[in-house]
Amino acid sequence: MAFDGKLLSGVTVLMAVVEAGTIARAAEALGLSPSGVSRALARLEQRVGARLLARTTRSLSLTDEGRRFYEQVGPHLAGIEEAAIEASGSTSTVRGRLRVNIDPFFSRIILSGHLAAFLARYPEVSLELIMRDSVGDLVADGFDLALRFGEPPVGSFVARKLVETRVITVASPGYIKAHGRPRHPRDIETHACIDFYDAAHARPYDWEVQRKKEVLPLRVKGRLLVSDSGTLLGACEAGAGIAQILELGCEHLLESGRLVELFPEWADERFPLYAIYPSRLHRAAKVRTFVEFCLEIMMRERRGISS
C-alpha cells in the first residue's frame, strides 16, 4: 500500500487545530499561515470524504464524523511521536503539551503545591490544567485526559480508578467551643452547616453519613453555600459551621487539630478519583507520567511526606 504523505500532513494540521482551538493559533504553532491551515483542512476533508470541522466566525467544533476520526487517529499520532523518541535513544524523555480537564478540589487542595516539582522533573512538558465542572467532550475540547472525583460518566471513555477517599464530617475547635460538640450525626441538623454546591446537578450536595452498610441521610440547615473547596475549608476552620469534606489532601488539618472529625464511626462513605481517557488505544508517555505523578503525591499525602 502506497504511503499517503499528504493525508498524514492533513491529519497533523487537524490535530493542531483541535488542540489550539482556533485556526490562527494552530497556524502559529505549525509555522503556517491561517489560509494555509484552512486549505490543508479542506484537502483533508476532500480526501476523507466527510466534513470534519464545523466552522463559524466565532467557534470551531468537531462534527460527529470529525470526532470519530479524531478519536481513531489521535492515539496513532502519539504513537508515532513516541516511536521517534525511542528511536533516538531517549526512551525516558517525556515531552509535549499536556492538557488536563481537572477536578477543582484535586487541583487546588492536592496538586497545586507539587506543580513546581512536576515541571522541574519534566522540563520538556507544557502543562495546561483546566478546571471544569464536568468531563464534557474530551476530544472536542482537546483534552488528553480528565481527573475527576465521583463515578465516571457513561460514554466512550476509558476510566481508571486511582484512589478512594473517606467523606468526613468536621468542625473547628472554635466552633465546638462556642456551640458544643454534637454526639450523634442527627444532632448536626440543629447546627449551622456549610453547604457545598454540586455544579453537575445545580444544587447543594446531599448530606449523609455511613456506618458499614447503614446510610443515614441528614437534613441540615445552613446560611452559607460555597462552590470552592478552599473557601469551604477556610470557612470551616474559621468556625462558620460544620462541613463535610474529602479526607484526601486535608490530613494535615486533622493532624494539626485545626479541624476535628466529629463522627469517625460514621465515615464509611468512600468517594473515588478517576483518570478518564478519551480512548483505550495508545496513550502518550506524558499522560502516563502525569497520572503516575498524581498517584505518587497522593501516597505522600497519606503518609504525611512533603515533596
Q: What percent of the chain has pLDDT over 70?
A: 86
Q: What is the pLDDT at residue 306?
A: 42
Q: What is the C-alpha separation between 4 and 192, in angstroms, rounded? A: 67
Q: What is the pLDDT at residue 69?
A: 81
Look over the chain and give the mean of its residue pLDDT values, rounded to a whole number. Answer: 85
The backbone region for 155, taken as left when phi is positive above 0, alpha when psi lies in -120 to 50, beta otherwise, is left
Who has greater pLDDT, 58 or 68?
A: 68
Q: What is the C-alpha separation between 129 and 283, in angstroms, rounded? A: 18
Who has greater pLDDT, 48 or 209?
A: 209
C-alpha separations of 93 from 10, 16, 128, 129, 287 in Å: 26, 21, 19, 21, 12
Chain CA centroid to CA 283, Å: 17
Q: What is the dihedral of CA 232, 237, 241, 247, to 10 degrees?
A: 60
Q: Which three cell numbers stand for residue 81?
A: 511521536
Q: What is the pLDDT at residue 90?
A: 43
Q: Which three cell numbers stand for residue 160?
A: 481508571
Tens-place pLDDT, residues 252-303? 999 999 999 999 999 999 999 999 988 655 567 888 899 999 999 998 877 6
Q: What is the pLDDT at residue 220?
A: 94
CATH 3.40.190.290 fits 163-272, yes or no: yes
Dihedral sign computed on CA atoms, order 153, 154, 160, 164 = positive
Q: Where are the domains of the chain?
A: 1-69, 163-272
User: Do residues 96 and 81 lie in contact, with contact meaning Cβ atoms separated by under 8 Å?
Assistant: yes
Domains 1-69 and 163-272 in one fold = no
The residue among 77, 64, 103 whose CA lies nearest residue 276 is 103
Q: What is the C-alpha separation between 78 and 84, in angstroms, rounded? A: 10
Tens-place pLDDT, residues 95-133? 888 999 999 999 999 999 999 999 999 999 999 999 887
Question: What is the architecture of the domain spanning 1-69?
Answer: Orthogonal Bundle (1.10)
